Amino acid sequence: MPYVVNPRAATPNVIPAYQGVTTDTVIQLAAQTGANIAGMFTSGTTLSSVVWEGQSQLTLSTPSVAWYTAGGTQTGYDVGQVVISPVAGDVSALNPSGQYRVLIYGTTSGEQVVIADCESNVLASPGSTSPSPPDLVTYDYCLEQLTDISLSATQIDRLPGLIGEASSAIRSWCNRTFTQQTYIESCDVELNGEIRLTEIPINYISRIQSNPQTAITITNNGANEAWVVFATTGDSTGPTGITITGLILNSYTSGVLSSPVVSFTANMTISQLASVIGAVSGWTAYADSVLGLYNVSELIPQDALIGKGATPNDQPDGGANLRVYTSNITDAAPHPQDGMKTGLIWVGRQYQDVGPRWGQGWEELNGPGPQAPGFVQVTYNGGYATIPREVQLATVELVKAAYERLKSELLLDSEGAAEYKYKINPEMVDMLPRNVRQGLSRHKVWDA
């Protein structure tokens, strides 16, 4: 009977696993002190395994496991050797740089016991993952800067994940991504005719759009309730933002919910979108004769990121109106004092048909969102081709702080025993340590 097996003494105790690869690992079982592994198992002892994150978490996979036969002369149950084979498909579903628990069971005469208790480090296959946006420091640079602290092999395995987390935290605190790429940003024009873009420095501006007008009206005349909302992927706080993929046409008729999705296709015009919507039972859509020729990608996102009522009784439009910007500003200019570095761009005061936005007719200031006459959308290239050195160093410092935080409880500043009291270290309550915030201070884009 295998009761004298020492599960944690299995060798190797850490099973390597690589995404997209099936890997065989031979494990040598060990007996308790003074016992001999030979003869503990028989050919009738069946094997099974389970992979999970620990405690009461769900089972993630059940890798194949068998007695290890070497050269056709060894039977694994005689010497306590098993081979476990995490398959490519199961490993691909696990998180790269993640750590998991692996149990191997042996069952003899209907009695099941744990014969190996191991860990598994999941590593991404070379080139299989690409963070978007890219990390603020490279793996090699970060490892080089961490030479003053001693890192174990397991801690080094965690480095890619910590770099990604530190990069995300710094981007969140600074309210910018730093990465050079194309951005589309909506801005409310200030009273002096200026806007401020976020992803500085501004390398070039390809387009500034204004004067939003209704391009399509969508209505459901037969439903008790109806509303339209964009179908999206991504999230508004993420580095890549939201991607609009189509429209969701929601309606309740006699208590039954219907939510067909009209997907956008390549080169689809707003008029073509109206035709597709009109083919859905109960729905009608009318596109403007001129604006209907615009591509569906020109629809202003803010118009339907919050559902718009689509029955004739819904206020204020009696249907879901979606807009496009109808004009491109031609005389915009950066602020004369480093406008491209600071993101300050002059676009001029915007006007509406009934009068100017400011001065006489001030009441036109009322009304938020893209329907306001002073609201513009800017398409521009911003960010750094090479991340500033102080940002890279701040990222390394945050990675170092993460290692230290994982080793000890840094939240506690002091405590007493007689009349129990404690004090929380305010430095560790903040999102970023003070030295990191100081290094990033000139790169932070402050909220308006």
The domain locations on the chain are: 2-123, 139-175+387-443, 182-382
pLDDT at 269: 97
Copy the structure tokens of residue 353.
Answer: 């048909």
pLDDT at 259: 96
First to last CA, the chain: 71
Q: Checking phi first, is residue 283 left (phi over 0); if not, alpha (psi -120 to 50) or beta?
A: beta
pLDDT tens-digit map of 350-402 = 655 444 444 545 444 444 444 445 789 999 999 999 999 999 999 999 998 88
Contacts with 89 (C-beta within 8 Å, 6 or more apart), sequence order: none
pLDDT at 205: 97
Copy the structure tokens of residue 60.
Answer: 């993630």
* Cis amide bond preceding 133, omega within 30: yes
Rounded CA-CA distance 36/49 in Å is 23
pLDDT at 416: 55
Rounded CA-CA distance 341/201 in Å is 4
Minimal CA–CA distance to 5: which of 109, 79, 90? 79
pLDDT at 126: 72
Tens-of-pLDDT digits for all 448 residues of the chain? 445 688 888 888 888 888 888 889 999 998 887 678 887 888 899 999 999 888 888 899 899 999 998 877 788 898 899 999 988 878 877 776 677 899 999 998 888 989 999 988 887 777 766 677 789 999 899 999 988 888 887 788 788 888 988 998 899 889 889 999 999 998 888 878 899 999 999 999 999 998 889 999 999 999 999 999 999 988 766 556 788 999 999 999 999 999 999 999 999 999 999 999 999 999 999 999 999 999 999 999 888 788 999 999 998 888 999 999 999 999 999 999 999 999 999 998 765 544 444 454 544 444 444 444 578 999 999 999 999 999 999 999 999 888 877 664 444 445 555 554 444 444 444 557 777 888 788 888 876 5
Give DSSP secondary structure letters for 10-62: -BSSEEEEETT----EEEE--BPTT--STTS--TT-EEEEEEESSTTPPEEE-
The CATH label, of 2.40.440.10, 3.30.70.260, 1.10.4190.10, 2.60.40.60, for the domain at 2-123 is 2.60.40.60
Give DSSP secondary structure letters for 133-170: SPPSS-HHHHHHHTTTS---HHHHHTHHHHHHHHHHHH
Rg (CA), the chain: 31
